[in-house]
Chain A
Amino acid sequence: MLQEKKSKRGTFIALLCVAALLVLVLVLENTMRPTSMLFTVLKKGAVYAVVATSMNLLNGFTGLFSLGQAGFMLLGAYTYAILTIPVADRESVYYLYQGTIVNFSLPDLFGGADTPLGLVLGVLLALILAGCVAAAVAWLIGLPVLRLKSDYLAIATLGFGEIIRAIFQWDVLGPVTNGANALKSFPTFSSFNIENADGDVVLRLSTFVPFLLAAICIGIIVLLINSSYGRAFKAIREDEVAAEAMGINLAKHKRPSFCISSFFAGVGGGMFAMFASQAQAKTFTTAMTYEILLIVVIGGLGSISGSSIAAFLYVAASEWWLRFLDAETYIGDFKVPFLRTGFRMVVFSIIIMIVVLFFRRGLMGDKELTDLFRPRRKQKEAAK
Chain B
Amino acid sequence: MLKIDDLKVSYGGIEAVKGISFEVPEGEIVTLIGANGAGKSTTLRTIAGLVKPASGRIHLQAEDITALSPDRIVSKGITLVPEGRHVFPDLTVLENLKIGAYLRHDDLEEDLKWVYDLFPRLKERSWQAAGTLSGGEQQMLAVGRALMSRPKLMMMDEPSLGLAPIVVKGIFDIIKEINHQGVTILLIEQNANMALQTAGLAYVMETGRITLSGPGRELMKNEAIKKAYLGK
Contact = CB atoms under 8 A, between A and B. Distances in A.
A242 B50 CA distance: 10
Nearest to A380: B127
Contact of A246 (B69, B90, B100, B126): B100
B84 to A, nearest CB: 9
Interface in A343-370: 366
A108 to B, nearest CB: 45
A368 to B, nearest CB: 14
B102 A231 contact: yes
Name A's interface SS.
Answer: helix
Given A235-B99, A247-B103, A383 B50 contact: no
A239 B83 CA distance: 13
Contacts of B95: 231, 234
B110 interface: no
A232 B70 contact: no
B87 interface: yes
A231 B98 contact: yes
Interface in A227-265: 228, 231-232, 234-235, 238-239, 241-249
Contacts of A241: 50, 82, 86
A122 B122 CA distance: 53
B98 A234 contact: no
A354 to B, nearest CB: 25
A234 B91 CA distance: 8
A234 B90 CA distance: 9
B98 A246 contact: no
A379 interface: yes
Contacts of A376: 127
Interface string B110-138: 00000000000001111100000000000
B145 interface: yes
A44 to B, nearest CB: 32
- Category for how many chain A residues contact B: 20 to 34
B229 interface: no
Given A231-B95, A249-B69, A383-B127, A242 B102 contact: no
A239 B124 CA distance: 24
B75 A366 contact: no
Contact of B71 (A242, A247, A382): A247
Contacts of A228: 98, 102
Given A234-B88, A245-B50, A383 B124 contact: yes
A234 B88 CA distance: 8
A335 interface: no
A383 B123 CA distance: 7
B123 A247 contact: no
B80 A235 contact: no
Q: Which of A376, A380, A383, A384 has the most CB of B within 10 A?
A: A383
B162 interface: no
A186 to B, nearest CB: 43
B219 interface: no
Given A231-B95, A380-B127, A383-B126, A242 B70 contact: no
A246 B101 CA distance: 8
Given A235-B91, A241-B82, A246 B149 contact: yes
A246 B99 contact: yes
B69 A366 contact: no
B127 A247 contact: no
A245 B79 CA distance: 7
A384 B122 CA distance: 10
A249 B125 CA distance: 28
Q: Which of A235, A366, A380 has the most CB of B within 10 A?
A: A235
B3 to A, nearest CB: 22
B127 A246 contact: no
A242 B124 CA distance: 23
A247 B124 contact: no
Given A228-B98, A231-B99, A384-B124, A244 B50 contact: yes
Contact of B89 (A238, A249, A383): A238
11 contacts: A228-B102, A234-B88, A238-B89, A238-B91, A239-B88, A245-B80, A245-B82, A246-B99, A247-B70, A380-B127, A383-B124
Interface of A: 228, 231-232, 234-235, 238-239, 241-249, 302, 366, 376, 379-380, 382-384
Given A234-B95, A247-B103, A249-B70, 6 more contacts: A235-B91, A244-B50, A244-B70, A246-B102, A249-B69, A383-B123
Leading 9 A-B pairs by shortest Cβ distance: A247-B74, A242-B86, A238-B88, A247-B71, A379-B127, A247-B103, A383-B126, A249-B71, A245-B80
